[in-house]
Structure 1
């Protein structure tokens, strides 16, 4: 094969020239396989101090810390003045418009019973005799489909 393959560079021995060409091709293929991109396509490092979300979050944290400090200062003053806050929630619930709610509840129940009665009195639009005939036809078709074919050849 080395005799029929033309050498690019002039050599004295065609066989050794062919070997040299094959080695150069193999090296070139390895270089292509191991090639890496020159461009850096990775994400850039985030700079949190420049983003508006970070500034907004930082301002919120500062506000919360100021509120906590103020609450702590007020709590200390209350303890110093010996004024205690009653945190027990034992008060009587007062329902607003209880009579109107009861009327609405009765009205809804009456509407529900009326609809239930109306639904139960509806006549079927599909006659029983026709239903039985259709059922018989379907059973007949089912029997014919499930029967095995005869072995007559």
Structure 2
């Protein structure tokens, strides 16, 4: 209470108590200004922006992935519960499948089968319009006419083919005989003579056939 008496004023004053109050208020004002003074160097951290910390474009995809993961977890839990228990819902429907047009389709099938049977019976009862026997007779008649019109007899070619076959068979037999004649020279001489006679006979036959063909050609030319 008596501090104003001990207070030495810096400037001359008539009342030391009042001067003390004035100086104290000025000092408090100064301290308040010092406390509220701003620093010349900004040491505070920089301002954070939401668009840098949170990517808005990726947020829907992340939300969708989280939702899918959550649904998968729920589905897995449900399936595990169903596998462990019989399930809480009986959704089996015991009923026979019925078709609305079953009778119509059955009647249509019966109609088609009856028509097919009728067509089959008609086809089986139909008689042929062409006579195969008459065709065969006509063909034989054409063969006879062709043989009569031909310049050379038609059967001569077949006879010549038969003779050639016989000659081939005879030549095969001759080869076998020649193999045996190496041991018996006497038999070989006899066989060579028989072969010569057969060749002469073959040449005579050919001459006869050629003469006959010439005679037939001359008669036709007349």
- Please classify the TM superposition score into its range, dividing by the shorter chain length: 0.3 to 0.5
Q: Larger radius of gyration, structure 1 or 2?
A: 2
TM-score (norm 2): 0.27
Which protein has the bigger helix share?
Answer: 2
TM-score (norm 1): 0.36
